[in-house]
Amino acid sequence: MIESKKLPLALTVLGFGAMVASADIKVNDNFSLSGFVDMSANGAKLSSVNGNDVTGSAGDATLNGSLDQYEMDFFYKFGFFSARADINSLSGGASGIFTEQAFITATLTQELSLGMGRFLSTSGFEAAEPTGLYQYSTSKQTGGIYGGYQNGINIAYTTPKFGLYGAVVSDVWNPSETELLNSPGFEGQISVMPVAGVTIKATQLWQMRDKDAATTLGDDGQGLTNIWASYAVGKLTAAAEFNLLESWLVGTQNDLSGMGWLAMVNFKATDKVGLTLRYSALTIDDKNSATDDMGSEVTFSPSFQVSPNWLVLAEIREDFGNLEATSYAAESTFSF
């Protein structure tokens, strides 16, 4: 994580928060780098799927340990221009080294910036990286609902109390898509910071569908309205979020609607100990089912700040709805 004071104002306010402090490594006046190492032990005990109890070995508790992610972020600055490239290495099924994002930003004024390349969507309260999360797992909102890493161009205008952001991308949710003319995606966001510690953001995403694609079932595209607000003063951080899914394509079903909610509270009991409680839920109208595709979860996570760069935490999570399970984890994240 690079310190906020070293980024243009437009990028700082519209960027993505992080919990774990880090001192980025300054090579020279134009080049610095940072990164993190994230590892965990995690497991789960499955109770039921789609209302059917899980029996036999399928319901046995599991426990896994691994290096989850290693990332190096490179920052370049040349006058009014800056560039960032994140190189990521994952373990498990998606193992390998790849470029997560890489983009160039032109800081036209203190408030106005123009960017192009591969960058992360501004939608959603929860961060995409473990260094920005208050717990180990992501909510029901995060998996496939928020916009992802996108190829395109964006513009941001931000003051300390107000911000506007817009982007045209090749695909809002598919990071491997590069075709733009036939099926572009769009993202727009309004940010309001009325008083110290309060942030409100409203984002609209819309992805056009390829008219020549076999998966097109009559609708022009799908969209997401994402609204969240947070309050962070002193030892308390609280957030609430609402998502509205519009004309979603899920499998062979088109024009599905859905809603999602998130509520989270984090309290710093001491300078080193934090406590997080989160609730989230997601409902998608399933035309091929007698009931909606829905689920909710409750997560409790205590954390301990070993040092400014090293955070460890534990988590226990209960999932309800179509999937009922108890999951648990211990995580160590070291940032530099």
Q: Is 78 exposed, middle or buried (0-12, 13-18, 19+ CB in 10 A)?
A: exposed
Q: How far apart are CA 283 and CA 196, in angstroms?
A: 34
Look over the chain and give the mean of its residue pLDDT values, rounded to a whole number: 86
Q: What is the pLDDT of residue 91?
A: 75
pLDDT band for position 120 (cuts 50, 70, 90):
very high
Please report where in the chains the tokens 């890493």 appear, as a residue: 149
Whether 175 shows a pLDDT value over 60: the answer reads yes
Q: What is the pLDDT of residue 56?
A: 67
Mean predicted confidence (pLDDT) in 234-245 = 96
**Given this model, what pLDDT does residue 15 score?**
43
What does the pLDDT read at residue 17? 33
Dihedral of the CA atoms 323, 132, 262, 158 (nearest 10)? -140
Provide the percentage of residues in the chain whose pLDDT is more than 90. 65
| Higher per-residue pLDDT: 17 or 91 | 91
76 closest CA partner among 13, 142, 6: 6
Per-residue pLDDT at 209: 82
pLDDT for the residue 94: 61
**Do 276 and 299 meet the contact criterion of CB atoms below 8 Å apart?**
yes
Instruction: Give me the mean pLDDT over the 196-225 stretch.
Output: 80
pLDDT of amino acid 216: 43
Task: Decide: 124 and 145 in contact? Cβ < 8 Å.
Answer: yes
Task: Express each pLDDT in 281-330 by its tens digit.
Answer: 998 886 555 445 678 999 999 999 999 999 999 999 999 988 889 999 99
Q: Which of 43-47, 160-164, 288-292, 322-326 has the highest mean pLDDT?
A: 160-164
Identify the band that residue 272 occupies on the pLDDT scale cut at 50, 70 and 90. very high
For 124-146, what is each residue's pLDDT tens digit? 999 999 999 999 999 987 767 99
How far is residue 82 from each of residues 87, 108, 248, measured CA to CA in Å?
17, 11, 36
Residue 63 pLDDT grade (very low, low, confident, very high; cuts 50, 70, 90) = confident
Contacts of 207 (CB under 8 A, 6+ apart): 171, 172, 173, 183, 185, 186, 221, 222, 223
Considering 12-16, 172-176, 276-280, the range whose residues carry the highest mean pLDDT is 276-280
Dump pLDDT digits (tens) for 258-268. 999 999 999 99
Name which residue leads in pLDDT, 20 or 128: 128
**Is 48 a residue whose pLDDT tops 70?**
yes
pTM of the model: 0.87
- Domains of the chain by start residue, with CATH: 4-335 (2.40.160.10)
Task: Indicate whether 219 pLDDT > 90.
Answer: no
pLDDT band at 254 (very low <50, low <70, confident <90, very high): confident
Query: Residue 93 — pLDDT band, cuts 50, 70, 90?
Result: low
- Name the burial class of residue 195, with classes exposed (0-12), middle (13-18) and buried (19+) by CB atoms within 10 angstroms of its CB: exposed
